[in-house]
Amino acid sequence: MNIASWLDRAALRWPGRPALMHGMAVEADYAGFRARAAALGSWLRGRGIGPGDRVAIFMRNCPEYLIALFGCWYAGAIAVPINAKLHAREASWIIDNSGAPLCFTTPGLEAGIDGVECVDPTGAAFLAALAPARGGAPSLPPDAIAWLFYTSGTTGRPKGVCITHGMLTAMSLTYTVDVDSVHTDDAAYYAAPMSHGSGLYSPVHVLHGAAHLCPVSGGFDPAELLETAAAHRSLSMFMAPTMVHRLTAYARAHGGTGAGIRTIVYGGGPMYRADIEAALDVFGPKFVQIYGQGECPMAITALPRGVVADRGDPDWARRIASVGQPQSAVEVRICDEEGRPVPRGEMGEIMVRGLPVMPGYWQNPEANARTVRDGWLLTGDIGSMDAQGYVALKDRSKDVIISGGNNIYPREVEEALLTHPGVAEACVVGRVSQLRGEDVVAYVVPAPDAVLSKANLNRHCMERMARFKRPKHYRFVQCLPKNAYGKVLKMEIRQRESGIE
Ligand code: AMP
């Protein structure tokens, strides 16, 4: 089962339907999308790249992103999408770890990527010059890897989740059962990075012949989104909760009602009750929540539109505080530290098993041993399940900070700070931010006689990692709170932060 066969099928069924759109301009119909992706696949094969080989995609959101992604699958290769907001050094590390010999890039992003060939597929000339492909998508077994999804562990080093063609098939099919239906008149709108959730939703929209609409801004611009929705009249999209917050604030300030938005699927971080209430007030019943992680992409639980919107239900407050019930292709259970299921209502680690669960990480047996046990994925999330099967997420055991929809791993920021000669110790935590969900706060113990400032630490961080990861606040302290074993008490620091106005 090769997910690119869905594009062959869509091109036969709806050859003239709009497929790739840049704003409201149609750049390719389904016949054209398929022809270009298949030709790119043949081009890769001609360069010796085939089944099992990796190809990196370090591109901003644009229609050619999907040609590159499906082009990899036409070659039978494994796509390695990388968040375009990452620093070139971070992207290079991922490319190197995946062993990709080639990287598709958009102009400007190739700078600083060494050791691999960078190819820009966005210029009209490049795709137009490709020889047409003969034949369709090559047949692959369902356990063939389609996508290496780089996430991070608490160690700060990214890990490549192996997402197979079978997992993509399962998560796409359950989308239409648990999340939303898809029609040829709809368009998937790519406001969030295509290297993550929003790109993972592209196959199901290909399967149903819907259009793929990339904003001209290349990202999330509330004014552009509301205008495009009004013009297109049926947009669906994935959003981080902080994006929903910003969209609601913008619509309120400018009298927008979200006409033309069909569905907003939100997830990837906690949605605050006040935010979803405000969003429902402005936009109406357009919201579906999902809970997932790279290791079981978008497919652990879902809270359907009807439940999110039913404010008359006496249980609504509890329902909306949950992430919903298990999706159709998985079993979810809550376990204690020994891996034994706990009674309903009790807290424990959320575990999941089923077709969309990863077989493991890319070349990382230690992480696999920690994360997958007897086919069960240990999510690292702490939560409980009520009598009706609704799962409440309590905490992220992994300490991840989610700021503006981006995951930031404290250890990585701490390591960057610690390379500064004036920093003796560092501890990074998140603090609640109305605007971004969470902000990064760094507690820094200066080295003796060192003179540190926010400006010079910011500069130091930005030379080493993506801009969005740098701390928003610095607290210069004489020592960090530690336990008897010398371990920093992060919980105490977080509590301290929650008390600071
Ligand atoms: P990632 O692998 O980058 O998609 O991050 C996955 C993590 O984001 C999960 O393990 C959760 O901690 C968190 N997450 C995902 N969806 C939700 C949600 N709906 N509500 C709260 N946290 C979520």
What distances in angstroms separate CA 479 from CA 253, 444, 491, one per listed residue? 45, 8, 15
pLDDT value of position 166: 98
Closest ligand 1 atom, residue 294 Cα: 2
DSSP 2: -
* pLDDT string in tens for the chain (501-residue length): 999 999 999 999 999 999 999 999 999 999 999 999 999 999 999 999 999 999 999 999 999 999 999 999 999 999 999 999 888 998 999 999 999 999 999 999 999 998 899 999 998 789 999 999 998 999 999 999 999 999 854 345 789 999 999 999 999 999 999 999 999 999 999 999 999 999 999 999 999 999 999 999 999 999 999 999 999 999 999 998 878 988 999 999 999 999 999 999 999 877 878 789 999 999 999 999 999 999 999 999 999 999 999 999 999 999 998 999 999 999 999 998 889 999 999 988 999 999 999 999 999 999 999 999 999 999 988 889 999 999 998 756 667 788 988 878 787 888 889 889 999 889 999 999 988 899 999 999 999 999 999 999 999 999 999 999 999 999 999 999 876 445 577 878 988 888 765
Closest alpha carbon to 107 in 19, 237, 218, 13: 218
Q: What are phi and psi of 107, to 5 degrees?
A: -50, 130
**What's the CA-to-centroid distance between 268 and ligand 1, angstroms?**
4
Q: Where in the sequence is the domain holding 434, given as residue range(s)? A: 400-498
Closest alpha carbon to 296 in 364, 350, 241: 350
**What's the CA-to-centroid distance between 406 and ligand 1, angstroms?**
11
At position 17, the amino acid (one-letter code) is R
Q: Is 407 in the pocket of ligand 1 (CB under 6 A)?
A: yes
Assess if residue 263 is contained within a domain: no
Instruction: Tokens 């790519």: give the residue.
Output: 190
Assess if residue 57 is contained within a domain: no
**What's the CA-to-centroid distance between 248 and ligand 1, angstroms?**
21
Q: What is the β-pairing status of strands 261-266 and 287-293?
A: parallel
Closest ligand 1 atom, residue 301 Cα: 19
Assess if residue 334 is contained within a domain: no
- Strands (DSSP E) along 313-375, which ranges? 325-326, 330-335, 348-354, 372-373
Instruction: Tokens 């979803």: give the residue.
Output: 276
Cα separation of the two ends of the chain: 54
Contact yes or no for 264/286 (Cβ under 8 A): yes
Angle separating helix axes 63-74 and 30-46, nearest 10 degrees: 50
Assess if residue 385 is contained within a domain: no
Q: Is 151 in the pocket of ligand 1 (CB under 6 A)?
A: yes
Distance, CA of 459 to CA of 462 (rounded, Å): 5
Closest alpha carbon to 279 in 246, 312, 240, 235: 246
Closest alpha carbon to 171 in 206, 200, 151: 200
Q: Is 159 in the pocket of ligand 1 (CB under 6 A)?
A: no
Probe target for ligand 1 pocket from 320, 330, 381, with the most ligand atoms within 8 Å of CB: 381
**Which residue, by CA, sits nearest to atom 8 of ligand 1?**
268
Closest alpha carbon to 70 in 55, 85, 48: 55
Q: Is 379 in the pocket of ligand 1 (CB under 6 A)?
A: yes
Residue 105, both tokens: 């890039």
Assess if residue 451 is contained within a domain: yes
Distance, CA of 125 to CA of 147 (rounded, Å): 27
Assess if residue 160 is contained within a domain: no
Assess if residue 257 is contained within a domain: no
**Which residue, by CA, sits nearest to atom 12 of ligand 1?**
396
What distances in angstroms separate CA 311 from CA 211, 287, 305, one per listed residue? 32, 13, 12
**What's the CA-to-centroid distance between 381 and ligand 1, angstroms?**
8
Closest ligand 1 atom, residue 379 Cα: 10
Closest alpha carbon to 76 in 155, 133, 153: 133
Return the C-alpha torsion angle 177, 346, 430, 501, nearest 10.
120
In total, how many domains does the chain have?
1
Q: Is 301 in the pocket of ligand 1 (CB under 6 A)?
A: no
Query: DSSP letters along 231-278, please?
Result: HHS-EEEEE-HHHHHHHHHHHHHHT---TTEEEEEE-SSPPPHHHHHH
Q: What are phi and psi of 176, to 5 degrees?
A: -75, -15
Probe target for ligand 1 pocket from 147, 361, 393, 406, with the most ligand atoms within 8 Å of CB: 393
Q: Is 195 in the pocket of ligand 1 (CB under 6 A)?
A: no
Closest alpha carbon to 67 in 2, 144, 120: 120
Assess if residue 151 is contained within a domain: no
Query: How many C-beta atoms lie closer than 10 Å to residue 158's C-beta?
Result: 24
CATH at 431? 3.30.300.30
Q: Is 293 in the pocket of ligand 1 (CB under 6 A)?
A: yes
Closest ligand 1 atom, residue 289 Cα: 19
**Which residue, by CA, sits nearest to atom 4 of ligand 1?**
293
pLDDT value of position 393: 86
